[in-house]
Amino acid sequence: MNSDFTLAIHSLTLLALQPDRMSTSEYIAESAGVHPVRIRKVLSLLKKNGFITSKEGTGGGFIFALELDQVNLWDIYQITSEGALQPKCTESNGQCIVGANMKSVLFTIFMGAEEHLGLYLKDYTIKEVVELVKQKEA
Amino acid sequence: MNSDFTLAIHSLTLLALQPDRMSTSEYIAESAGVHPVRIRKVLSLLKKNGFITSKEGTGGGFIFALELDQVNLWDIYQITSEGALQPKCTESNGQCIVGANMKSVLFTIFMGAEEHLGLYLKDYTIKEVVELVKQKEA
DNA sequence: TTTACTGTAATGAATATTATTACAGTAAGC
DNA sequence: GCTTACTGTAATAATATTCATTACAGTAAA
């Protein structure tokens, strides 16, 4: 898994704490310790899905578009990383009963695993993540 | 995640179908479509944990050491890939409340996610995987 | 019309994964 | 004993993935 998922969470959490003004990709990038272009790429996904809005030009940036408890980590996972659990099987030997069928068996199992993970991630909304961050700070 | 996890499952499934004789790393490698040295590396982990035994020299190889329903996918995951879900956060900005605390918040959340995944994976033993492979074949 | 932004493509650097080579150690069978 | 067929493991090379960086077009405010 690449870090799009965690960068998205990081960005949204930051936006959640700046509800009244737009945050630039440079500002978010500095908080997350990555390059601004990378942030813009991740945030463009979130924008497509309606979690944030953006504005170009002077004074522009990104801002949260929903209530904090309307976005959960499963939503974000699906947008940024769906299928990441799926194992990358190299093409194996079709002559062998295991080689021929393992790929699809694993596919089925990992699909289930991802769904199951979804049940867990749905319980964390950005509101809760913000709370956790504040708790740590205190 | 690298593919140690799926290679381990593949290997054990193959061994499960050859209960009476030793299988060489070359044989397993051919079924899985990878290099024999890679198989030996993965299997050395499984051996350390008592799931298989091995024998060097002529006629040697690997063989299952337990009953098929005594090994589940969570066992295998822990051996080969524990912590793989854990996000790789780059060092972020400690001046920022989010940058300073996000890493440990995510760590906590992903620890929980992995435990939760464990509950799902525990339900699949090698016995069941073998059954699934046979079903696909039929 | 300049300045400060987003949006996105293209390319290069860094990192992670995998293959390959090499060789020491072990056991079977002649 | 010697050869053959294996495991075990380290070291290095090849490849794939991830990420940073550059470049530049588009937009809006002042």
Residues of B in contact with A5 (CB under 8 A): 87
Q: What is the pLDDT of residue A92?
A: 83
The two structure tokens encoding residue A37: 């272009």
More confident residue, A2 or A97: A97
Nearest CA to A29 out of A16, A14, A18 is that of: A14
DSSP strands (E only) in chain B: 52-55, 61-64
A56 CB inside 7 Å of strand C: yes
Strand D nucleotides below 7 A of a protein CB?
Answer: 4-11, 17-23, 26-30
Q: What is the pLDDT of residue B103?
A: 94
* Helices A97-121 and B25-32: angle between axes, nearest 10 degrees: 70
B133: nearest CB among A89, A91, A102: A102
Res. A91: pLDDT tops 80: no
Nearest CA to A131 out of B89, B102, B112, B88 is that of: B102
Res. B1: pLDDT tops 90: no
> Beta-carbon neighbour count of residue A134 at 10 Å?
14
Res. B24: pLDDT tops 80: yes
Q: What is the pLDDT of residue B94?
A: 85
H or E element: which one contains B81? helix B73-81
Nearest CA to A24 out of A34, A39, A10, A42 is that of: A39
What's the length of chain A? 138
Over residues B44-101, the pLDDT tens digits come to 999 999 999 999 999 999 999 999 999 999 999 999 999 898 888 777 888 899 988 9
